[in-house]
């Protein structure tokens, strides 16, 4: 092992820290007026100070260097007299600590090198440590840690110092240790050979090194690092000449580069030594967590687990490794693996590591049970176990209230709100907990929708009071989503009755979306003072091996110190989680405008997310933005454009089970098959879509609704009206049970379509009117236009006497249809308008035929883009009938030929490049 493993816990005094205290006393001896002996200049003296600064910054390493490694670093400072003298002084003073009294006297003496309140009156050239400097703070921490030791602790420290010095004298005496001596390196090689690395083949690594040597006189620095782990840190190329000059074999101890150690230690071309700190390891784990969230299942499961297993062996105190394994299992839908690692994480860490939650004041000392329950509930939610998730999260609410952990309570309420919103739960008795007993105490039973509203408001208020800005923004998005699809009703049903407008409020939706976007301005203002967990470590991790000059150790005094500021602090940008929340707001904006019927605004917001937040967003959000853009292409440009874009999206996103891209592909293929009359293929695609939904009740409600709707439409296209009506009626009952009111508007419209096509226009009228009522309540303007068009067709089916009423309905919906409707909706409107004119007894075909012909011609062009053969055939049939009445035989034959072509094409595709064949 290349270092000494520290015990996890608070700052503790160790032999290595005692050595640093001795070096600090040599650097700043008490009552010294000028540059101390043996330094001949201020530059040489500052060189030792820079070395000590780097060593004290590395005090949080998982491993502490041995004495021979410390001596090696001091010797690298300079080959002159001062380095040998400093090493002699260090060894002699360590050897003189032979009793507890010596330790007490030593720590009493080093107090004199710290500046006091009157330090401003010292001489100009006097060397003194500022109590607030990095070196001064380190020295004060060491003194405090020593003073807190019991007598047994002091004796134990003295024993460790003896072992610390004995290992140096027995293994590698400092008088004989030099850069050209490779005996210690041979010991290191034997350690590498005896390590348990059954997953790696070292022969291949050696062959790779020899091949690189033959190709050029440059060898990679991480000689003993397997390729699997080499990707964690950038290789540093060291010339063969430099390697042979400094040492025959380079020793490496790196948790990132080599799984045999958790002390990250590298050397650059100038012989500079760097240590990887505990914070950097945590930063790497944070980077991997961000990668899992962003890329999901595309991250290699086994590749990451091999690295995490090595880290777990070498540093068992890194409990976050278990949590990262839990996230890895979660992203790959491995329930047992994720549950096991989640239990391991909370068994070992009690939830005290890796969370931003502040500890509760009234804690019982048994860890954070409520955080464990929160994670467990979110895991059940992810795997589609809504009832278990609700039970666990309800228990988390109770424990958070008992422990006065308001932060955890706010996150738990947000998780319950998300659970109730995303999954269909018909009963939530006891969910709200004791905080909301004021309703239940007077015998009032709240519906699921009312409970969801109360939970959202409660979570938002708690997040605002605790100043949890990201949670506040997320809650505003949740409130916007709630206001988008729910009509707010009063919680109390008694009292004076007042008139209420039972509709959603788009103004409230826009308000919540704007409030969520304020998060970006808050973090921009605070970016100079904000530190995100792991951000500091990862920001300079890759550049740590590339400094020049006197950053850590130098061979001369002329090195530049311009990199010191980069070593101490890195500029922090807006966190990725903040950008992700902001990007989600644009996705929700696109969804809102899509429901409200504004296609240009929906497309614009999807484009903003795809172009501005692609790097920060999760893979699901990025895929959803692509889905909306491809759907827009299919509706407004036709399927060829959409399928071309879909191929690009499939290359960008992995098509796994239930992925947004896979669902979009099935939806587009189903629509395309229906339009072309390939009903068997459409039913097959519909069945594949339904198989993707979970069988658990209340889970994947959106996917189940979509599959049932498409199944009913397929049956309708096959003229199986009774079966289609039965499926649609069952779907309506399910949506009503789980309060899916927006979906009910579409189901009611489908029922009206079924009865219209079956010839029961009178039965279909109530369904169309009910769908219109839902559209008015939820401000579904485009769906309202479509329902109005269906209502006009129903009136027209009742006889020519209703043609004028139907025509007025169509003209009233035309602004919305022509401005925001897609190719199919516009074409339907043109055809129905033409049929209304032709059925109207007051319409003269011979005088005003151009009005009808223009509408039908426009419809035929757009329907041919969609390859919607049935409607296109109807348009050409009407055109042929009009031309026949007008006596224009040539145009009649042309329209009739087109009609015949589309009738033959239904269910009989002749195109060899058929997308249905190539994509299936």
- Which of 455-459, 694-698, 718-722 comes out lowest in average pLDDT? 694-698
Task: Please give the full DSSP string across 729-766, using - where no structure is assigned.
Answer: HHHHHHHHHTT-HHHHHHHHHHHHHHHHHTT-HHHHHH
Rounded Cα distance, 829 and 826, in Å: 5
User: Is 70 exceeded by the pLDDT of residue 797?
Assistant: yes
Mean pLDDT of 825-836: 94
Instruction: Give me the pLDDT at residue 76, please.
Output: 78
- pLDDT band at residue 522 under the 50/70/90 scheme: low
Please give the pLDDT value at position 9. 56
pLDDT band, residue 339 (cuts 50/70/90)? confident
Taking the C-alpha atoms of residue 78 and residue 554, their distance in angstroms, rounded to an integer, is 7
If you ran DSSP here, which 8-state letter would residue 66 be given? P
Question: For residues 25 and 577, which has the higher predicted lDDT (pLDDT)?
Answer: 25
Cα distances from 417 to residues 410, 464, 588, in angstroms, run 11, 16, 17
Q: Who wins on pLDDT, 403 or 498? A: 403
Helix (H, G, I), strand (E, B) or coil at 478: helix
Residue 713 has pLDDT above 80, yes or no: yes
pLDDT attached to residue 740: 85
Task: Find the helix packing angle between 151-171 and 81-95, rounded to 10°.
Answer: 130
* 243 pLDDT above the threshold of 60: no
- Strand segments, DSSP code E, in 51-198 are 63-64
Q: How many residues does the chain have?
A: 920
What is the mean predicted confidence (pLDDT) over 856-860?
93
Q: Distance (Å, rounded) from C-alpha 475 to C-alpha 240?
A: 58
Rounded CA separation 516/472 (Å): 7
Which of 619, 517, 623, 532 is closest to 573 using CA atoms?
A: 532
Give tens-digit pLDDT for 252-301.
333 333 333 333 333 343 444 344 567 777 778 888 888 887 777 778 88
CA-CA distance, 408 to 648, in Å (whole number)? Answer: 41
pLDDT at 492 over 80: no
DSSP 802: G
Q: How confident is the model at residue 914 (pLDDT cuts 50, 70, 90)?
A: low
In three-state secondary structure terms, 264 is strand
Helix spans in 315-384 (H): 320-331, 335-349, 369-382
pLDDT mean over 532-549: 39
The secondary structure of 475-486 as a DSSP string is HHHHHHHHHHH-
Is omega for the bond preceding 798 within 30 degrees of 0, making it cis? no
What pLDDT band is residue 792 in, cutting at 50, 70 and 90? very high
E strand or H helix that includes residue 411: helix 406-422
Report which DSSP code applies to 65.
P
Residue 554: closest CA among 869, 258, 272, 161: 272
The DSSP element (H or E) to which 267 belongs, if any, is: strand 264-267
Q: What pLDDT, on the 0 to 100 scale, is given for residue 237?
A: 39
Amino acid 427: pLDDT: 54
**Helix residue spans in 542-696 (DSSP H):** 564-568, 576-596, 599-612, 619-636, 639-652, 660-676, 679-691
What's the CA gap between 712 and 728, in Å, rounded?
A: 6
DSSP 253: B
Range 848-853 average pLDDT: 88
pLDDT score at 655:
54
Helix or strand or coil: residue 307? helix
Q: Is 837 exposed, middle or buried (0-12, 13-18, 19+ CB in 10 A)?
A: buried
Distance CA 481, CA 88 (A): 71
- Give the model's pLDDT for residue 471: 87
**pLDDT band at residue 204 under the 50/70/90 scheme:** very low
Distance from C-alpha of 681 to C-alpha of 908, rounded to nearest angstrom:
12
pLDDT for res 79: 58
pLDDT at res. 553? 31
Burial profile 619-646: b = 16 or more Cβ within 10 angstroms, e = fewer? bbbbbbbbbbbbbbbbbbbbbeebbebb
pLDDT at residue 804, rounded to an integer: 92
**pLDDT tens-place string over residues 78-127:** 656 677 788 888 888 888 888 888 898 888 888 888 875 444 444 545 56
For residues 859-866, average pLDDT = 91
Residue for token pair 């995100």: 532
Whole-angstrom distance, CA of residue 367 vs CA of residue 796: 71
pLDDT band at 408 (very low <50, low <70, confident <90, very high): confident
In this predicted structure, what is the pLDDT of residue 394? Answer: 87
- Report the pLDDT value the prediction gives residue 497, as an integer from 0 to 100: 52
Is pLDDT of 862 > 60?
Answer: yes
Q: Which helix (H) or strand (E) holds 274?
A: strand 273-276
What is the band of 917 on the pLDDT scale with cuts at 50, 70, 90?
A: low
Q: What is the structure's pLDDT at 920?
A: 55
As a three-state string, the secondary structure of 652-682 is HCCCCCCCHHHHHHHHHHHHHHHHHCCHHHH
**Burial, 750: exposed, middle or buried (Cβ in 10 Å; 0-12, 13-18, 19+)?**
buried
Give the rounded distance of the alpha carbon of 631 from its chain centre. Answer: 24
State yes or no: pLDDT of 35 exceeds 50: yes
Residue 183 has pLDDT above 60, yes or no: no
More confident call, 814 vs 179? 814
Q: What is the rounded CA–CA span in Å between residue 293 and residue 304?
A: 14
Helix (H) or strand (E) holding 64: strand 63-64
Coil, helix or strand for 239? strand
Check pLDDT > 80 for residue 498: no
Averaged pLDDT of the chain: 75
Instruction: Report the relative pairing of strands 4-5 and 63-64 from DSSP bridges.
Output: antiparallel
Token reading at 129: 């440590």
Give the per-residue pLDDT at 783.
94
824, pLDDT greater than 90:
yes
- Shortest CA distance to 45 belongs to which of 127, 115, 113? 127
Residue 577 predicted with pLDDT over 60: yes
- Please, are residues 728 and 716 in contact by the beta-carbon 8 Å criterion? no
Least confident of 267-276, 608-617, 673-682, 854-863: 267-276
Asked which of 164-168, 282-286, 328-332, 833-837 is least confident by mean pLDDT, the reply is 164-168
- CA gap 271, 563 in Å, rounded: 17
Average pLDDT over residues 539-563: 37
**pLDDT given for residue 558 in this prediction:** 38
The structure tokens listed for 633 are: 């292409």
- Return the higher-pLDDT residue of 205 and 706: 706
């Amino acid at each position: 092992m290349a270092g000494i493993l520290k015990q996890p816990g608070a700052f503790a005094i160790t032999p290595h820290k005692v050595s640093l205290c001795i070096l600090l006393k040599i650097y700043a001896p008490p009552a010294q007026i000028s540059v101390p002996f043996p330094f001949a200049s201020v530059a040489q003296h500052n060189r030792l100070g820079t070395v000590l600064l780097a060593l004290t910054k590395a005090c949080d390493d998982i491993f502490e260097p041995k004495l021979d490694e410390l001596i090696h670093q001091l010797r690298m400072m300079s080959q002159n007299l001062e380095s040998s003298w400093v090493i002699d002084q260090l060894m002699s003073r360590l050897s003189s600590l032979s009793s507890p009294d010596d330790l007490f006297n030593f720590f009493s003496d080093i107090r004199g090198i710290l500046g006091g309140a009157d330090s401003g009156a010292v001489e100009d050239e006097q060397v003194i440590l500022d109590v607030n400097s990095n070196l001064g703070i380190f020295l004060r921490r060491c003194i405090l840690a020593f003073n807190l030791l019991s007598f047994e602790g002091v004796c134990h420290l003295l024993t460790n110092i003896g072992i610390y010095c004995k290992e140096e004298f027995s293994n590698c005496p400092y008088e004989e240790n030099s850069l050209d001596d490779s005996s210690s390196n041979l010991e290191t090689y034997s350690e590498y050979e005896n390590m348990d690395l059954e997953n790696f083949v070292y022969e291949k690594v050696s062959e790779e090194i020899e091949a690189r040597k033959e190709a050029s006189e440059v060898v990679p620095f991480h000689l003993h690092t397997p390729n699997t782990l080499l990707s964690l840190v950038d290789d540093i190329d060291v010339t063969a000449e430099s390697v042979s000059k400094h040492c025959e074999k380079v020793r490496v101890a790196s948790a990132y580069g080599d799984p045999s150690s958790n002390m990250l230690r590298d050397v650059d071309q100038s012989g500079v030594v760097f240590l990887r700190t505990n914070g950097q390891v945590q930063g790497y784990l944070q980077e991997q967590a961000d990668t899992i969230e962003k890329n999901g299942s595309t991250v290699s499961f086994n590749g990451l687990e091999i690295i995490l297993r090595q880290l777990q062996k070498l540093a068992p105190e890194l409990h976050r490794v278990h949590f990262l394994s839990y996230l890895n299992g979660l992203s790959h839908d491995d329930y047992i693996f994720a549950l096991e690692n989640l239990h391991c994480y909370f068994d070992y860490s009690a939830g005290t590591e890796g969370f931003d939650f502040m500890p509760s004041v009234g804690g019982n000392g048994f860890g954070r049970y409520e955080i464990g329950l929160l994670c467990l509930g979110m895991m059940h939610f992810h795997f589609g176990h809504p009832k278990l998730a609700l039970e666990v999260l309800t228990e988390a609410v109770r424990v958070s209230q008992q422990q006065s952990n308001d932060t955890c309570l706010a996150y738990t309420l947000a998780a319950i709100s998300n659970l109730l919103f995303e999954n269909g739960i018909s009963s939530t008795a006891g969910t709200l907990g004791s905080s909301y007993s004021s309703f239940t105490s007077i015998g009032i039973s709240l519906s699921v929708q009312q409970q969801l509203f109360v939970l959202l408001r409660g979570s938002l208020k708690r997040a605002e009071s605790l100043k949890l800005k990201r949670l506040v923004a997320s809650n505003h998005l949740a409130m916007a989503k709630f206001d988008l699809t729910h009509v707010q009703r009063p919680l109390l049903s008694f009292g004076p009755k007042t008139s209420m407008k039972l509709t959603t409020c788009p103004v409230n939706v826009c308000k919540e979306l704007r409030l969520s976007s304020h998060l970006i301005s808050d973090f921009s203002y605070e970016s100079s003072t904000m530190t995100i967990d792991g951000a500091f470590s990862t920001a300079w991790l890759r550049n740590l091996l590339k400094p020049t000059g006197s950053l850590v150790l130098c061979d001369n005094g002329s090195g530049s110190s311009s990199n010191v500021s980069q070593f101490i602090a890195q500029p922090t940008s807006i966190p990725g989680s903040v950008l992700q929340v902001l990007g989600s707001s644009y996705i929700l904006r696109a969804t809102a405008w899509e429901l409200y019927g504004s296609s240009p605004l929906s497309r614009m917001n999807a484009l903003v997310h795809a172009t501005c937040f692609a790097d920060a967003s999760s893979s699901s959000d990025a895929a959803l933005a692509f889905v909306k853009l491809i759907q827009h292409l299919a509706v407004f440009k036709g399927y060829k454009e959409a399928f071309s874009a879909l191929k690009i999206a499939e290359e960008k996103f992995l098509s796994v089970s239930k992925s947004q891209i896979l669902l979009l592909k099935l939806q587009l293929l189903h629509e395309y098959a229906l339009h072309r009359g390939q009903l068997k293929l459409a039913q097959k695609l519909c069945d594949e879509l339904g198989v993707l939904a979970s069988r658990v009740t209340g889970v994947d409600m959106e996917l189940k609704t979509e599959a049932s709707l498409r199944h009913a439409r397929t049956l309708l296209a096959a003229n199986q009206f009774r079966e289609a009506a039965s499926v649609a009626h069952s779907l309506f009952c399910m949506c009503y049970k789980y309060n899916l009111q927006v979906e009910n508007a579409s189901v009611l419209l489908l029922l009206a379509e079924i009865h219209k096509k079956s010839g029961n226009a009178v039965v279909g009228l109530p369904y169309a009117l009910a769908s219109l009522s839902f559209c008015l309540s939820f401000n579904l303007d485009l769906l309202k236009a479509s329902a109005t068009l269906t209502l006009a067709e129903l009136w027209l089916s009742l006889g020519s006497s209703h043609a004028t009423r139907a025509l007025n309905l169509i003209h009233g919906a035309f602004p919305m249809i022509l401005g925001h409707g897609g190719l199919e909706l516009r074409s339907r409107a043109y055809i129905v308008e033409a049929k209304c004119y032709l059925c109207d007894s007051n319409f003269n075909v011979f005088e005003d035929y151009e009005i009808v012909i223009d509408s039908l011609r426009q419809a035929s062009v757009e329907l041919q883009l969609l390859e919607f053969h049935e409607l296109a055939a109807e348009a050409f049939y009407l055109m042929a009938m009009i031309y026949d009445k007008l006596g224009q035989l040539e145009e009649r034959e042309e329209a009739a030929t087109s009609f015949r072509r589309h009738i033959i094409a239904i269910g009989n595709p002749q195109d060899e490049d058929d997308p249905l064949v190539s994509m299936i």
